[in-house]
Structure 1
Amino acid sequence: MDAQTAEERILSGLDEEQRTVATTLSGPLCVLAGAGTGKTRAITHRIAYGVHTGVYNPNRLLAVTFTARAAAEMRTRLRDLGVGTVQARTFHAAALRQLQYFWPHAVGGQLPGLLEHKAQIIAEAARRLRLPTDRAAIRDLAAEIEWAKVSMLTPETYLTQAEDRGEPGGLDKVTVGRLFQGYEDVKADRNLIDFEDVLLITVGILQEDPRVAATVRDQYRHFVVDEYQDVSPLQQRMLDLWLGGRDELCVVGDASQTIYSFTGATPRHLLEFPKRFPESSVVKLVRDYRSTPQVVGLANNLLANRRSGGMVADALWSKPLELVAQRTGGPAPEFMECSDDEAEAAAVSARIKVLVENGTHASEIAILFRTNGQSEAYEQALTSAGIGYQLRGGERFFARKEVRDAVLQLRASSRAAEDESLGQLVRDVLGNLGYQAQAPTTSGAVRERWESLSAIVALADELVLSRSTPEHTFSILDFVAELQERASAQHAPTVQGVTLASLHSAKGLEWDAVFLVGLSEGLMPISFADTPETVDEERRLLYVGITRAREYLNFSWSTARTPGGRANRKPSRFLDGLRPNSVGGAPTGPRMATTRKSRKVTGPSVCRICGKILNTGAERKVGRCPDCPPGYDEAVFEQLREWRLKESAAASVPAFVVFTDATLMAIAEAAPQDLDELAALPGVGPAKLERYGEAVLDIVATG
């Protein structure tokens, strides 16, 4: 195939804007790409076109993205376009490779061990400081330390920059700072570095050693950064050092899909790109090829319905791209109000069963929720309906025993493979492990095992079609190599089951049918989104969920948590103007703000019974003197104490870590009816509200 034919092939099938991206090969380029507009297609074809025309040396271009899965997908596309030697990596993988290479010369000795999970080290640091923590608190503290490090903060500077970060793990800022330092000390004692250290140390070496910086800049002449709205200050600093003042940079992103601000991501770099590079070209991709006009219109309206949240929030909210649907019409989105969580899960599974019976593959259906704790009801409902599912974010595909066994068997068979077709050979090998053409009628472990093996068979069939050429037939050796590469990148094949996933983990994926569940106030937006800026991010998160759907979209919420519980939930404010008979234009900002403001007390607190000044924190929490009679239902208070005892025992923490007696008294006296009222009580912070709020409300409602 001559060069001209290759160039025509690469550009064929691109729309006008995508072609502009693919043929703009020099200088800074900013691509503003909406959901479903083919951004990955545009940038991979740009790279391939640049290589085939001789503008790019494939060994001197680095494509960077944010997840191993996205990087693996980009490498696959580049390979299919004939430029498989181009490197596509995550920021961390690229930095780690450079660090491993330069460490002996720049630092000397052996590179410290890489810490993959922070939990054990944080727990050790907490024990040294005699701090009580549970598993959830450690998770929150790990996230806070990651945020601090990608924001390039130290334990000393953390205190001055984290004023608005709430109370991660239920700890005040000073204590978090001490724990942060303790975590760093334990790592140093054990000669370990974490993923953020990989970036920090690489940045340090590039800044301090001109020879290393010159070597990296000579190696890489052109850069492409995908999902640029998710860049953290630390990642941007490393990118700047890679560039070294040059401008051969292409960035791609969408500010309306910024949903990781809590990890340090900021769209500021994307939005300010044209100012930083005045000579840059800006291309907008707005033709949505993924979703029907019904889905696209609803997504556009969700963003358009946003109202002013004040000067600070408005400055951070960029004008969204207005998508233009390219597909033909589909079904209208559905809205379901259910009596309780169990009823909602049953209604969703019933609709999924109908979709599957009408020909939609289970793997093309997703249930998306705000928090991982919501998944259990849907797991049970799908199991009862005999529908297989996979939990995204659960056990990694390549870590499953049947998958490890399958890879070992396929590797062994590759040494003695005859002229049998790859598809049949894979079926024969996996047949020894329990694979069969028909899915088992049972659920549980047997079904999950079959789904794993079936996914490997389907991948083999897919790769035979896409990778075979007249000159080379995709073989068992090629397939084993592909599985090994995918295992290292955690690029799992498609499993034949309904996907259960949080909205955050659904980013970058798409399905024929999407069920957005639990869309009630307190869950969407989440209860601890208590500023206009965080509420805006919740709106963007729902936007990401909506734009995952190709054809069918279902919104649902429940009015009570449990069957027979108090129906005090309200549908999400984000559905105002979207669902039938609702009014649009809900203002940005937390609805709880009015409640909190009305409860704010100025001056000394006084007993609400006798009027005396309250002196202790416990007295102020319950709002009365210890000598004045309580105004709460003692039965409710005792039920709350019993519940607290069970929670503390399950988490192996003292009871007061869950809630103090004073806070339980305040809850029993106030008898809050919803999450907003509960959040207004002293001693109930965002972390405890998310963890315990629904359970507390149930006790109050039924007590």
Structure 2
Amino acid sequence: MPAIKPGLPDDLQRILAKTLAKQPKHRYQTIKELAADLKALNRHLELASTASPAPAPAKTKLVLKRLTLAARAVKIDYEKELNESQYQAVTTVDGPVLIVAGAGTGKTRTLVYRVARLVEIGVPPESVLLLTFTRRAATSMLARAAALADERCQRVSGGTFHSMAHATLRRHSELTGVNRAFTVLDQSDTEDLIDLFRRRMGLTKDRQFPRKRTIGAIFSMAINKLMSIEDVLDQHYPQFAHERHTLEELFHEFDHYKRERYLLTYDDLLVRLRDALQENQGLCHVLSNQYRYIMVDEYQDTNKLQAQIVRLMATTHDNVAVVGDECQSIYSFRGASFRNMLEFPELFPDAKVIKLEENFRSTQPILDVANAIIADARESYAKRLFSRIAEGPQPMLIGARDENEQSRFVVQHIEELRQEGVSLDEIAVLFRASSHSFDLEIELSKHGIPFRKYGGIKLTESAHIKDVLAFLRLVVNPSDTVSWFRVLKLLENIGDATVEQILAYLGIGEREFDTAKAKDNLFKKLKQFPAKAGYRDQLVRLAHLLRTIAQRALPRNQLPDIDRFYRPILKAKYDDYPRRERDLEYLISMAKRYKAGEELLADVALDPVDMALGDAAARGSGFVTLSTVHSAKGLEWDTVFVIWMMDGWFPSSRAFEAVEDLEEERRLLYVATTRAKRQLYYTYPLSAYEGVGRGSFSVVSRFLDPIPATILPRATLATNEHE
């Protein structure tokens, strides 16, 4: 099918897409439906034709003014401000480009300059799409590009894969087949819904059947890695292989239930977009023509599904630039595939591969160790990081007598660094698993050294916030069974069985409630449920609340009503309610920026706010950072300690059985190593406690042991018994 031309009115593009749709279900079903769209197009054309045309000279002057503005914006001396590889990556704008950006090589700077370059040479900002893994990253990059070039860069479309999918499914609901009133379920909501099905199928009493969190992980892995349930079980959960048929049945029932009630998980957002793009060539061409230049950050963290979406969205062009480092791919447990980097030239056969190897963060001695660690990786692009900072302290591998001596060494050295003038904010201790820092935390506290530990929960993942948002979700989508369960079970004397009775009485799942009148009638009917005396008054109050907030348009007016209803429940439910009340006040304040409940719910689902607001405020005020390596990715410090560098701990013993898992552990250590700017210490205890009455002599991590002492000197701590 020929591509739909870019620049056509949106109404006309929509008509063409539906008319040319490959699948019959995506085409016009009735003449009335087509007539309505043609009428809208006619109005568009009438408005355009009645607009007073500007005189020719003025029009020419306007065009010249635009060109002058563009020319005035050409102030960037790319060759001067970028190194040779970055310059090549920024100025290669047409066709597929794979930018292999080693740690600390300025990938963000390269993307920022690339956005500026595209806008500078005349590409309409709205035709550029920048996909990142956090909305903050996209916002920051576009702001930097705007400061570099001009404000047009702010009009570039930027966001996460999930937010882009969310917006597309709503905007083009007639082409995707997804009801625009859908609700997005977060991870805990998804697990609760899975648990509901486990109970309905009588599987909760079987101790051998996987728990809800494990089932959710199995389903998610199957979706993101494009695997069957059977293959996921065989490769990752062999202990549940005997439950394959039951899990497959549960998966299909679960999927059918969500579709009937307009419920989408995070994974569903991507699946439904990918499916719509594959099945509806019209949609494929609309999006491909809308986004003529696509850029993807952190491509090594994408999954197979996301790689397919990128390929489909570039159908009418191949202008795709992806940036990443396969050696920093450490999220396979989320479905990420480092092979997306390796296979990009297969998806785009004409791809140009550009390597960024000059590191602007670390000294050369640190990079020598990083290069040695990753040199033995089984699959990666050949590259060698180098730095213009040739001199610096050599990294050290230090053996301590036991865990406590390891902790005391770290604390003592932190105190010495502080005396030398190194800020505590510039010091980090990294480890493979959160439990590895317990002894160190005690030792730091003994010496009065303040620290913060990365990895707190998100504000919108906390139970009390989810309770409040559930009321709002019911008003947006009354078919949201998960929210009905959450809200109704807040009331006294109501359990699962009663909730099921109420939902059956209301007809949830049997009919649609897509108009304001239908919603109002539904909430009126809730008051009429033949409730027992123990909860009748509460049910009436709930029905009144739902009717009230449904009539209010703005979240800033809805949330205070919900808060008044919920506050007594909060005080009865949580001992620490004063702290949680502050969270509710923050949520109400945050809601003021939204014009619709759908917008607020989409943002908190797709880009949750950090719970640890105090931690964010504390940065730069004198805290040592304790962090798992996963949480430290993307950060940097002057001095880094990586503790527990022994086999079984780093790499984890759970990775010993599979080569792929062991390779990811190697990449994880590479990430830890490249966080250090000036000083780097690896430590390990010579003996380790492994349980009551059990201890063992440790073996140095297999990733460090082969590195020559000329690159990584060794030392053993000598304890002064008289101190």
**Does TM, scored on the shorter chain, surpass 0.5?**
yes
Relative to structure 1, the CA distance from residue 567 to residue 358 in structure 2 (aligned partners, 3 Å threshold; closer, same or farther) is same
Tell me, in whole angstroms, the C-alpha distance in 2 between the residues paired with 1:180 and 1:361: 52
Are 1:531 and 2:602 counterparts?
A: no
Structure 1 residue 398: deviation in Å?
A: 9.6
Match of 1:560 in 2: 688
Name the amino acid aligned to 2:166: L
Relative to structure 1, the CA distance from residue 577 to residue 389 in structure 2 (aligned partners, 3 Å threshold; closer, same or farther) is same
Q: Contact 1:365 / 1:513 at 8 angstroms: preserved in 2?
A: yes
Relative to structure 1, the CA distance from residue 358 to residue 165 in structure 2 (aligned partners, 3 Å threshold; closer, same or farther) is same
Q: Deviations over 1:519-570 (max 9, x none)?
A: 2111211112112222111111111111111111111122213799523322
Match of 1:675 in 2: none
Q: Which structure 2 segments of 5+ residues have no match?
A: 1-67, 463-575, 584-592, 594-602, 611-615, 714-723
Relative to structure 1, the CA distance from residue 98 to residue 190 in structure 2 (aligned partners, 3 Å threshold; closer, same or farther) is closer
**Structure 1 segment 51-130 matched on structure 2, within 5 A:** 51-54=119-122, 56-81=123-148, 82=150, 83-103=153-173, 106-107=176-177, 109-117=179-187, 118-127=190-199, 128-130=202-204
Structure 1 residue 35: deviation in Å?
A: 0.7
Are 1:323 and 2:385 counterparts?
A: yes
Match of 2:219 in 1: 145
**Structure 1 segment 346-385 matched on structure 2, within 5 A:** 346-385=408-447
Are 1:291 and 2:362 counterparts?
A: yes
TM-score, with structure 1 as normaliser:
0.63
Q: Contact 1:203 / 1:237 at 8 angstroms: preserved in 2?
A: yes
Tell me, in whole angstroms, the C-alpha distance in 2 between the residues paired with 1:373 and 1:352: 21
Q: Contact 1:577 / 1:583 at 8 angstroms: preserved in 2?
A: no
Match of 2:317 in 1: 246
Relative to structure 1, the CA distance from residue 57 to residue 138 in structure 2 (aligned partners, 3 Å threshold; closer, same or farther) is same
Relative to structure 1, the CA distance from residue 504 to residue 280 in structure 2 (aligned partners, 3 Å threshold; closer, same or farther) is same
Relative to structure 1, the CA distance from residue 582 to residue 271 in structure 2 (aligned partners, 3 Å threshold; closer, same or farther) is closer
Match of 1:696 in 2: none
Are 1:228 and 2:299 counterparts?
A: yes
**Structure 1 segment 213-224 matched on structure 2, within 5 A:** 213-224=284-295
Relative to structure 1, the CA distance from residue 243 to residue 581 in structure 2 (aligned partners, 3 Å threshold; closer, same or farther) is closer
Q: Contact 2:134 / 2:607 at 8 angstroms: preserved in 1?
A: no
Q: Which structure 1 segments of 5+ residues have no match?
A: 307-313, 401-444, 453-476, 478-484, 585-703
Match of 1:163 in 2: 234
TM-score, with structure 2 as normaliser:
0.61
Q: Contact 1:255 / 1:267 at 8 angstroms: preserved in 2?
A: yes
Q: Secondary structure at the match of 2:695?
A: coil
Relative to structure 1, the CA distance from residue 148 to residue 276 in structure 2 (aligned partners, 3 Å threshold; closer, same or farther) is closer
Tell me, in whole angstroms, the C-alpha distance in 2 between the residues paired with 1:71 and 1:133: 45
Q: CA RMSD in A?
A: 3.7
Tell me, in whole angstroms, the C-alpha distance in 2 between the residues paired with 1:108 and 1:581: 61
Q: Contact 1:37 / 1:285 at 8 angstroms: preserved in 2?
A: yes
Matched-pair identity in %: 32
Match of 1:544 in 2: 671
Q: Secondary structure at the match of 1:324?
A: coil
Tell me, in whole angstroms, the C-alpha distance in 2 between the residues paired with 1:574 and 1:26: 40
Q: Contact 1:303 / 1:320 at 8 angstroms: preserved in 2?
A: no
Name the amino acid aligned to 2:164: A
**Structure 1 segment 285-684 matched on structure 2, within 5 A:** 285-305=356-376, 314=378, 317-396=379-458, 490=609, 495-496=619-620, 497-529=623-655, 530-558=657-685, 559-561=687-689, 566-578=695-707, 580=709
**Structure 1 segment 23-38 matched on structure 2, within 5 A:** 23-38=91-106
Match of 1:695 in 2: none
Name the amino acid aligned to 2:301: D
Tell me, in whole angstroms, the C-alpha distance in 2 between the residues paired with 1:548 and 1:29: 27
Q: Secondary structure at the match of 2:100?
A: strand
Structure 1 residue 126: deviation in Å?
A: 4.1
Tell me, in whole angstroms, the C-alpha distance in 2 between the residues paired with 1:302 and 1:24: 32
Q: Deviations over 1:443-480 (max 9, x none)?
A: xx9xx9xxx9xxxxxxxxxxxxxxxxxxxxxxxx9xxx
Tell me, in whole angstroms, the C-alpha distance in 2 between the residues paired with 1:18 and 1:508: 19
Match of 1:16 in 2: 84
Q: Contact 2:218 / 2:233 at 8 angstroms: preserved in 1?
A: no
Q: Looking at both structures, which has the greater relative contact order when contacts are Cα pairs under 8 Å and sequence separation is at least 6?
A: 2
Tell me, in whole angstroms, the C-alpha distance in 2 between the residues paired with 1:163 and 1:340: 39
State which drifts further: 33-42 or 257-266.
257-266
| Larger CA Rg, structure 1 vs 2 | 2
Q: Contact 2:98 / 2:344 at 8 angstroms: preserved in 1?
A: yes
Match of 2:49 in 1: none
Name the amino acid aligned to 1:227: E
